[in-house]
């Protein structure tokens, strides 16, 4: 099962600390992805964006911290040049499926060979061997 996180990332380049604090205060009022879009449009910067994090794809420390946060939680990353504010505005759970198949080519094998191979593959799979093992056997 995969968690999806919609995060607002607001990057401010202001040298005025008060401006940064007011932006953080404004972000406290924003609760939905739609409100984030409106908020970002009003700030008129191409560096501001709504980001979707996928637990299957995003494995960074930042992503892990964001997945652990509650809805509405914020995280601030600062360095000497910029300040980035992340806010969790939506969390979903979505199940992803992977499909693997083995093609036994009737032009390369006789029917009885295909049936024997299929039985062998299924038996090994039921005994815990991964399917990738069988693909190597068939093609290697």
Residue 68 confidence (pLDDT)? 92
Residue 134 confidence (pLDDT)? 52
What is the mean pLDDT for each group of 10 consecutive residues in the chain (140 residues)?
A: 52 44 79 86 82 85 91 88 87 78 86 91 84 55
Please give the angle made by the CA atoms of 93, 52 and 58, to the nearest 5 degrees.
Answer: 80
Tokens of residue 63, six digits? 């992503």
- 94-116 as b/e, with b when 16 or more CB fall inside 10 Å? eeeeeeeeeeeeeeeeeeeeeee
Residue 11 confidence (pLDDT)? 43
Domains defined along the chain, listed by start: 2-94 (3.10.50), 98-140 (no CATH)
Burial (Cβ within 10 Å: 0-12, 13-18, ≥19) of residue 16? exposed
Three-class SS of 42-101: HHCCCCCEEEEEECCCCCCHHHHHHHHCCCCCEEEEECCCCEEEEEEEEEEEECCCCCCC
Residue 52 confidence (pLDDT)? 87
pTM score, two decimals?
Answer: 0.55
Residue 15 confidence (pLDDT)? 37
Residue 2 confidence (pLDDT)? 54
């Amino acid at each position: 099962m995969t968690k999806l996180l919609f995060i607002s990332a607001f990057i401010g380049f202001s040298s005025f600390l008060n401006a940064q604090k007011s932006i953080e205060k404004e972000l406290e009022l924003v609760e939905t992805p739609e409100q984030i879009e409106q908020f970002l449009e009003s700030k008129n910067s191409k560096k501001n964006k709504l980001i979707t994090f996928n637990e299957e794809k995003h494995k960074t420390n930042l992503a892990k911290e964001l997945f652990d946060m509650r809805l509405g939680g914020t995280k601030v990353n600062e360095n000497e040049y910029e300040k980035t504010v992340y806010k969790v505005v939506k969390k979903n759970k979505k199940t992803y499926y992977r499909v693997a198949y083995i093609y036994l080519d009737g032009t390369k094998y006789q029917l009885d060979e295909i049936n024997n191979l299929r039985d062998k593959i299924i038996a090994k799979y039921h005994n815990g061997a991964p399917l990738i093992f069988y693909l190597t056997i068939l093609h290697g």
